[in-house]
Amino acid sequence: MKYLDKNLSIKERQEDYKKVMDKAMNPFENFNPDDFEPSGDDMKEVANRTRAIPPKKLSTFGIKPKEFRVGQMIGEYESKQDIYLTVAYRCNEMQQEIDLLKKEINKLKNN
Protein backbone atom coordinates (compact mmCIF):
# COMPACT_ATOMS: atom_id res chain seq x y z
CA MET A 1 0.00 0.00 0.00
CA LYS A 2 2.14 2.76 -1.35
CA TYR A 3 -0.55 5.33 -0.61
CA LEU A 4 0.48 5.21 3.07
CA ASP A 5 4.09 6.14 2.23
CA LYS A 6 4.37 9.85 3.04
CA ASN A 7 7.70 10.03 1.19
CA LEU A 8 5.82 9.74 -2.11
CA SER A 9 4.05 12.64 -3.79
CA ILE A 10 0.35 13.20 -3.20
CA LYS A 11 -0.32 12.36 -6.86
CA GLU A 12 1.52 9.00 -6.57
CA ARG A 13 -0.33 8.20 -3.34
CA GLN A 14 -3.68 9.13 -4.90
CA GLU A 15 -2.98 6.95 -7.96
CA ASP A 16 -2.03 3.99 -5.77
CA TYR A 17 -5.10 4.49 -3.59
CA LYS A 18 -7.30 4.57 -6.72
CA LYS A 19 -5.79 1.24 -7.88
CA VAL A 20 -6.26 -0.35 -4.45
CA MET A 21 -9.88 0.84 -4.24
CA ASP A 22 -10.62 -0.27 -7.80
CA LYS A 23 -9.37 -3.78 -6.93
CA ALA A 24 -11.44 -3.77 -3.71
CA MET A 25 -14.58 -2.64 -5.56
CA ASN A 26 -14.06 -5.01 -8.53
CA PRO A 27 -12.44 -8.18 -7.14
CA PHE A 28 -13.89 -10.65 -9.68
CA GLU A 29 -12.40 -11.16 -13.13
CA ASN A 30 -15.33 -13.11 -14.60
CA PHE A 31 -18.11 -10.78 -13.54
CA ASN A 32 -21.57 -11.64 -14.85
CA PRO A 33 -24.32 -9.41 -13.41
CA ASP A 34 -26.98 -12.06 -14.13
CA ASP A 35 -25.52 -14.67 -11.78
CA PHE A 36 -23.10 -12.65 -9.61
CA GLU A 37 -22.36 -14.29 -6.25
CA PRO A 38 -20.07 -12.09 -4.11
CA SER A 39 -19.13 -15.06 -1.90
CA GLY A 40 -17.48 -16.76 -4.87
CA ASP A 41 -18.38 -19.37 -7.46
CA ASP A 42 -18.25 -22.24 -4.97
CA MET A 43 -21.16 -20.67 -3.06
CA LYS A 44 -23.41 -20.67 -6.14
CA GLU A 45 -24.01 -24.39 -5.69
CA VAL A 46 -24.89 -23.97 -2.01
CA ALA A 47 -26.59 -20.58 -1.77
CA ASN A 48 -28.35 -20.70 -5.16
CA ARG A 49 -30.18 -17.37 -4.92
CA THR A 50 -30.90 -16.32 -8.47
CA ARG A 51 -30.93 -12.69 -9.47
CA ALA A 52 -34.24 -11.41 -10.74
CA ILE A 53 -36.14 -8.22 -11.35
CA PRO A 54 -38.22 -7.59 -8.21
CA PRO A 55 -42.00 -7.79 -8.44
CA LYS A 56 -44.15 -4.64 -8.58
CA LYS A 57 -45.12 -5.16 -4.94
CA LEU A 58 -42.27 -5.83 -2.50
CA SER A 59 -42.83 -8.31 0.31
CA THR A 60 -43.18 -6.98 3.84
CA PHE A 61 -45.18 -9.79 5.50
CA GLY A 62 -46.99 -6.96 7.28
CA ILE A 63 -43.87 -6.05 9.27
CA LYS A 64 -43.51 -2.29 9.66
CA PRO A 65 -40.16 -0.54 9.94
CA LYS A 66 -39.22 0.89 13.31
CA GLU A 67 -39.43 4.65 13.76
CA PHE A 68 -36.31 6.54 12.77
CA ARG A 69 -34.11 8.17 15.35
CA VAL A 70 -33.82 11.75 14.15
CA GLY A 71 -30.61 13.71 14.62
CA GLN A 72 -27.25 14.40 13.03
CA MET A 73 -26.56 10.65 12.80
CA ILE A 74 -29.88 9.80 11.11
CA GLY A 75 -29.70 6.42 9.40
CA GLU A 76 -26.48 5.44 11.18
CA TYR A 77 -28.21 3.08 13.59
CA GLU A 78 -30.97 1.75 11.32
CA SER A 79 -30.93 -1.95 10.54
CA LYS A 80 -30.89 -3.23 6.97
CA GLN A 81 -34.31 -4.72 7.67
CA ASP A 82 -35.77 -1.36 8.67
CA ILE A 83 -34.27 0.36 5.65
CA TYR A 84 -35.65 -2.38 3.37
CA LEU A 85 -39.08 -2.17 4.98
CA THR A 86 -39.15 1.63 4.64
CA VAL A 87 -38.22 1.39 0.96
CA ALA A 88 -40.72 -1.45 0.41
CA TYR A 89 -43.58 0.47 2.01
CA ARG A 90 -42.82 3.62 0.02
CA CYS A 91 -42.39 1.71 -3.26
CA ASN A 92 -45.63 -0.17 -2.68
CA GLU A 93 -47.46 3.11 -1.96
CA MET A 94 -46.08 4.65 -5.14
CA GLN A 95 -46.98 1.56 -7.17
CA GLN A 96 -50.58 1.77 -5.92
CA GLU A 97 -50.71 5.44 -6.91
CA ILE A 98 -49.25 4.65 -10.34
CA ASP A 99 -51.80 1.88 -10.88
CA LEU A 100 -54.65 4.25 -9.90
CA LEU A 101 -53.34 6.96 -12.22
CA LYS A 102 -53.09 4.46 -15.10
CA LYS A 103 -56.71 3.44 -14.54
CA GLU A 104 -57.79 7.10 -14.55
CA ILE A 105 -55.81 7.78 -17.73
CA ASN A 106 -57.36 4.74 -19.44
CA LYS A 107 -60.85 5.92 -18.40
CA LEU A 108 -60.15 9.35 -19.91
CA LYS A 109 -58.82 7.80 -23.12
CA ASN A 110 -61.90 5.61 -23.49
CA ASN A 111 -64.34 8.51 -23.00
Q: Is the Cβ–Cβ distance between 60 and 92 less than 8 Å?
A: yes
Amino acid, res. 71: G
Instruction: Give residue-wise pLDDT tens across range 71-94.
Output: 999 888 999 999 999 999 999 999
Instruction: Give residue-wise pLDDT tens across range 9-56.
Output: 999 999 999 999 999 999 888 888 888 877 766 777 777 778 889 999
How far is 92 from 109, CA to CA, in rounded Å? Answer: 26
Q: Is the Cβ–Cβ distance between 51 and 33 less than 8 Å?
A: yes
**Domain extent listing, the chain:** 1-52, 53-111
Close Cβ partners of 16 (under 8 Å, ≥ 6 residues apart): 1, 2, 3, 8
pTM: 0.64
**pLDDT value of residue 99:** 96
Dihedral sign, CA of 8, 11, 17, 19? negative
